[in-house]
């Protein structure tokens, strides 16, 4: 599959192009970049990859089977539609639409055009999450009662400012999707947001969220970017015991350090032993080896879905429901009450 990337900010540079290049069955076919500084960066990073001034130019060149849209959130909808109308398969960065209704509209457009639309929720393929997934799948915890997820980043400069940006749409998209992935659909949302007046307006810069899932489990999520904390923690509680991990987000660390997964596919994405999680049960305490973190698995699964005519790793409908959960969190924080997801979907 020949994949073009639209946008070369931190998403395109760090979380898409290296993993397309590492994915079996996928080729990086082109990059859309406009600013001279960005073009120079693309040429340095990917000297053999053609550069285009716009998605339209890349479409007209006929170099792609699919495109990844990783431009700023407010630009994504129109670009996704342009790609769909051109008959290209599309991977849209999160959040891939402003709201649930717009997300479902994009899914409908893709279905009518006969192309595959997927949402890039790459953090399903984090090493710590894959390790917890295996602990749960192996029934080491028995019935899971609750999961706590904490994602703190000391990076205030990366917050998208203003009322249409904020941390809830950013890290919130990831941590909510991870809990949907582990525990299934969400029924109610109870949230609190931390707001800060920034240059471009009042912005949510931290949150706590409680999700109640259809299967009876509940998850508790928290994140921040303005409190000068770096921390990633997962805690899971079940009828047989508990599991806790504190990790380094190893894939992001290595990418930012200039490493590429294609250069070490077998050794990529394992948390160091010092950060392996601990399972605590009646039998005692056990250190659980890290599973491999592989963001390129998303692209391999997307390519296989297109080839086989099966759903992609995260469908537009699943992505839309995540947006509905985030909107429910906004309403919950504003109104001081738990909000049912169906309240959002029904509006």
pLDDT in 10s for each residue of the chain, 347 residues: 999 999 999 999 999 999 999 999 999 999 999 999 999 999 999 999 999 999 999 999 999 999 999 998 788 899 999 999 999 999 999 888 888 999 999 999 999 999 999 999 999 999 999 999 999 999 999 999 999 999 999 999 989 888 888 999 999 999 999 999 999 999 999 999 999 999 889 999 999 999 999 999 999 999 999 999 999 999 999 999 999 999 988 999 999 999 999 999 999 999 999 999 999 999 999 999 999 999 999 999 999 999 999 999 999 999 999 999 999 999 999 999 999 999 999 86
pLDDT of res. 347:
60
Provide CATH code, domain 123-294+325-340: 3.30.360.10
Spacing of C-alpha 328 from chain mean position: 19
Provide CATH code, domain 2-121+299-311: 3.40.50.720
pLDDT of res. 173:
94
CB 110 within 8 A of CB 117: yes
Alpha-carbon distance of 288 to 283, in angstroms, equals 14
Domain extents in the chain: 2-121+299-311, 123-294+325-340
pLDDT of res. 237:
98
Q: Residues 6 or more apart from 83 whose CB is under 8 A from it?
A: 55, 59, 67, 69, 90
Predicted model pTM: 0.94
Q: Residues 6 or more apart from 243 whose CB is under 8 A from it?
A: 132, 135, 140, 141, 234, 235, 236, 277, 278, 279, 280, 288
**Which is nearest to 315 in space by CA: 213, 177, 209, 218?**
177
């Amino acid at each position: 599959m020949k994949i073009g990337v639209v946008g070369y900010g931190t998403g395109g540079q760090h979380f898409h192009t290296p993993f397309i290049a590492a994915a079996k069955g996928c080729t990086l076919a082109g990059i859309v970049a406009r600013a001279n500084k960005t073009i120079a960066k693309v040429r340095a990073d990917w000297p053999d990859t053609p550069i285009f001034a716009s998605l339209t130019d890349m479409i007209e060149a006929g170099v792609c089977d699919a495109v990844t849209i990783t431009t700023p959130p407010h630009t994504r909808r129109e670009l996704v539609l342009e790609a769909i109308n051109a008959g290209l398969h599309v991977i849209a960065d999160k959040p891939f639409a402003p709201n649930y209704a717009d997300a479902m509209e994009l899914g409908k457009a893709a279905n009518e055009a006969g192309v595959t639309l997927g949402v890039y929720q790459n953090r399903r393929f984090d090493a710590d999450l894959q390790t917890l997934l295996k602990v749960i799948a192996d029934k080491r915890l028995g019935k899971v009662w609750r999961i706590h997820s904490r994602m703190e980043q000391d990076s205030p400069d990366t917050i998208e400012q203003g009322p249409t940006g904020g941390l809830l749409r950013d890290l919130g998209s990831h941590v909510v999707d991870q809990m949907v992935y582990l525990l299934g659909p969400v029924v109610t949302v109870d949230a609190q947001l931390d707001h800060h007046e920034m240059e471009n307006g009042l912005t949510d810069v931290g949150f706590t969220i409680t999700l109640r899932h259809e299967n009876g489990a509940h998850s508790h999520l928290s994140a921040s970017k303005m409190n000068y904390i770096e921390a990633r923690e997962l805690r899971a509680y079940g009828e047989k015991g508990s599991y806790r991990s504190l990790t380094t987000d190893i894939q992001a660390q290595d990418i930012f350090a200039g490493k590429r997964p294609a250069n070490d596919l077998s050794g990529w994405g394992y948390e160091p032993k010092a950060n392996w999680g601990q399972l605590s049960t009646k039998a005692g305490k056990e250190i659980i080896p890290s599973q491999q973190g592989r963001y390129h698995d998303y692209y391999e699964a997307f390519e296989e879905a297109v080839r086989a005519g099966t759903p992609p790793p995260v469908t537009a409908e699943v992505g839309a429901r995540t947006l509905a959960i985030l909107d429910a969190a906004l309403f919950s924080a504003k109104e001081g009450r738990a909000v049912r997801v169906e309240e959002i979907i029904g509006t």
